[in-house]
Structure 1
Amino acid sequence: MRYFLHLLLVFIVVQSGLAQNENSPGKVLTDSLEAIYDSGSLVGFSVALVNEDGIQYVRGFGSADLTAQKAYEINTIQNIASISKTFIGIALLKARELGLLDLDEPVNTYLPFEVIHPYHPESPITLRHLATHTSGITDPDEYDEKGYILRNAENGEDAVYDDFLPPSQMLSLEEFQQRILSKDGQWYRKRTFLKKKPGERFEYSNIGAGLAALALEKATGTPFSAFTRTHIFEPLEMTHSGWFPEEVDFSKHSRTYTDAGIPIAPYTLVNFPDGGLMTSAEDLGKYLTELIRGYTGKGKILSPESFTALFTPQLQAAQFSSRSDGVYNDEYNMGVFMGFSAHDQIGHTGGDPGVSTFMFFNQKTGKGKLMLVNTDLNKKGVETFKAIWKTLETFEGQF
């Protein structure tokens, strides 16, 4: 049930904290986005435009909770889906700086159980393979069928997708990974692995991303959530960000909705590092600003050498069975859990039930933009998303 916005890739309210004059680009942009929202089918969303100087525009539109009549604000938080993976990349590189792990070391060096490629047991899977989606690990059926857990046993009339499981079936990240990838795991199958050797073929892997985060936990002796808070959220003053409800002010959390506007039952992710970060447009704008600064050698959460590694494309054409050269295709090439398009865009997309997200910056102009949506996308929703994104694209050079 993991939606990666491939359809979008093919086609492709609260006042801002920034002052807006009547005829300023910010005011015109706000009016344009409000008009799109009014004619569209999204319940709520937020956007931001940034450059290396910081957030230039940030605003929320629509509703974070229709029943409670709560507006979607710049500090409304929601799950950002696979954009979360970029935080795994930052964390791996910080741990490497601290001398706690090596990206080219076999991942089994750090794990409490062995992960052996069944078709190529002589070829170890490394952290770099995981970070570039070339490990050979694919997502089995259990990823969706066992990976989405309801937060509450009772959900009233909220929409509950078929793959949502009751809270009693929640597992730890370690147990979930062990059941899928360890040879004696309950859900282990050889077909979870490609027949290609590790490093030979790009195959996007949510399970692989979770495994990298688990390895980081074991290598550092620190829970992944705590490591990212210490080394990313706190230095960047991301005060509305966290992986679990108890780490954030949950009163600011947005409901998510079906494309018919029905509330989706609150859920959590077992394999949480691959898509479970809760954050706001303002906080994610701070993060995107730091990525732009890091790209130009001015970042503060990693060394220049680590930022260079983050933003160095790792793959060759022969490692892809096929790939799109769309402007915002984040799978044209990979850094360390960082996506590259064929058109100078660096960032990531994301999708989960009731969640659609984009975050990119242009490596030539240094301009970045992001969008967080709290609604499943039907055909009209895709068109609305596209219209909003195109509008941001039009205005990003005016700030």
Structure 2
Amino acid sequence: MNRTEWDAYFASLIGDSGTGVPGLAVMAYAGGHEVYRFAGGARRIEGAQTWPMTTDSRFRMASVSKMFTVFTLMELAEAGALSLDEDVSGYLGFRLRHPVYPDVPITLRMLASHTSGLRDGKVYSIPPSVCVQAFFTPGSPYWEDGAHFAPAGQAPGVYFTYCNLNYGLLGTVIEAVTGERFDTYQKNHILRALDCRADYVPGNLSADEFARLGTIYLKLDKQGHWDENGPWQGTIDDFGGIQPQGETLSLQNPYARDVCQSYALSDCRPGTNATIFSPQGGLRLSLEELGHVLNMVLHEGCYAGKQVLQPSSLQAMFRPQWVYDGHNGDTCGQTLLAYGLGEFFVDGTGPARCCRTMAIDLWGHTGQAFGLLSGLFIQPGRGSGFAYVMNGEALAEDDDPRSAGRFSRNYIWEENVMDGLCRLIDGL
């Protein structure tokens, strides 16, 4: 297929109902260089008025943010500021142990690889004045009857369960060892090195960057009813073009949307609670900036002539820290079978394969929250990779049978986009 045909393919995925999405942007690399990009549809919708999706449109990128938290973690490890295999208690300032496994230290490596024995509960983003110890303290409003600990038989260091709270704790550790707020430190180091003008706080974006901020949508009304033929309903960053006050931020709890109040960041005490920033998913990024990440990863940690991360750090991220053996984890419907540090492996012949017609192995991460679907993946040893972002869904994930993939365990939206991108880079 030529460029015009690929443009037509990706444009066909944009729509106002069914499996269509309001906006889509994709980028592909081959041989270590960008070879294709596309953007179409709308990043923002206000009645009959729309603002176009572009490759520099900015979105809350969901779990693709996790790799930036691990980039920051690895940078600090390279500098000797922390060790991935130290007991996290020493960084947090309180003893963190699973009550069933009190003699097993929980380490940064376990947190980053989701083998910590911790669980999300419904809420994992809490007010800045509260210490993260509240998640693990009986009687606390955030204890949730012990929901943040795995049941017996799922020991730390052995059993995998995807847990966003792990990354809230990693962000808190980053604050503890740097003495700076999580968002500020990351912006001044990893993000600056990658020439990303991203931010966790929409009110702190520059005026130009805020103007490019897109909204994430669902066809879900306030009464909880899906209507694919109804209007798009903004779920997050639906500001109507008016930038929120700087140094304020709302809690981000996709599974408890009633717990999303706004707070002044003046209440932050670095090293006690970074969950307000959502280190697991709250970074407002553009596809253009994800291209900078692809460039850096495909060139062994070097971007624009600067060594951002050592090759050994990237190798650790893209190396299995946990592999499913049939019993040792929750695979999220057979989509997660091997996990590294902020990245996971996709077997080109497995149930989460990304290409219908070819076996293409990939490492990377997807994002899924509030209606957004995103991803960044590389093809090891080939200098190839891709990134994408979609900002809405007209159908209910899981509950509507049309949301299921046709040849994989991925959602149909992911399947359509990733299959196209895999075929594109394989044909170059």
In the alignment, structure 1 residue 197 sits paired with structure 2 residue 178: no
- Aligned mate of 1:366, from 383, 403, 411: 383
Q: How does 1:189-268 map to 2 (within 5 A)?
A: 189-194=145-150, 195=152, 196-239=154-197, 241-245=198-202, 246-248=204-206, 249-259=209-219, 260=228, 261-266=231-236, 268=250
Structure 2 counterpart of 1:284: 290
Query: CA 1:355–1:200 in 2, change beyond 3 Å: closer, same or farther?
Result: same
Structure 1 counterpart of 2:103: 122
- The answer to whether the 8 Å contact 1:115/1:183 transfers is no
Q: Quick one: distance in 2 between partners of 1:216 and 1:182?
A: 22
By how many angstroms is 1:135 displaced?
0.6
- The answer to whether the 8 Å contact 1:176/1:271 transfers is no
- The answer to whether the 8 Å contact 1:325/1:342 transfers is no
Structure 1 counterpart of 2:223: none
Q: Quick one: distance in 2 between partners of 1:99 and 1:185?
A: 35
Q: Which has the higher helix share?
A: 1
Aligned partner of 2:35: which letter? Q
- Per mean C-alpha deviation after superposition, the further-off stretch among 366-375 and 227-236 is 227-236
Aligned partner of 1:50: which letter? Y
Gaps of 5+ in 2: 220-227, 238-249, 253-275, 349-360, 404-410
Aligned partner of 1:321: which letter? G
By how many angstroms is 1:264 displaced?
1.5
Describe the superposition over 1:195-225 as per-residue Cα deviations: whole angstroms up to 9, x where unpaired.
2331020111101111111111101222222
Q: Quick one: distance in 1 between partners of 2:110 and 2:310?
A: 22
SS in 2 for 1:211: helix
Bigger RCO (CA 8 Å, 6+ sep): 1
By how many angstroms is 1:384 displaced?
4.8
- Aligned mate of 1:274, from 277, 280, 301: 280
Q: Quick one: distance in 2 between partners of 1:292 and 1:325?
A: 29
SS in 1 for 2:14: helix
Query: CA 1:227–1:296 in 2, change beyond 3 Å: closer, same or farther?
Result: closer
Query: CA 1:138–1:299 in 2, change beyond 3 Å: closer, same or farther?
Result: farther
- Aligned mate of 2:3, from 17, 21, 26: 26
Aligned partner of 2:121: which letter? P
Structure 2 counterpart of 1:175: 130
- Aligned mate of 1:339, from 336, 344, 356: 344
Q: How does 1:1-399 map to 2 (within 5 A)?
A: 25-37=2-14, 41-51=20-30, 53-67=32-46, 68-143=49-124, 147=125, 171-172=127-128, 175=130, 177-182=132-137, 185-188=140-143, 189-194=145-150, 195=152, 196-239=154-197, 241-245=198-202, 246-248=204-206, 249-259=209-219, 260=228, 261-266=231-236, 268=250, 269=252, 270=276, 272-294=278-300, 300-318=307-325, 320-321=328-329, 323=331, 329=335, 331-343=336-348, 344-376=361-393, 378=395, 383-399=412-428
Identity %: 24
Aligned partner of 2:133: which letter? Q
SS in 1 for 2:295: helix
Describe the superposition over 1:294-316 as per-residue Cα deviations: whole angstroms up to 9, x where unpaired.
28999821112222222221124
SS in 2 for 1:231: helix
Aligned partner of 1:175: which letter? V
By how many angstroms is 1:231 displaced?
2.6
Q: Quick one: distance in 2 between partners of 1:278 and 1:322?
A: 29
Gaps of 5+ in 1: 1-23, 148-169
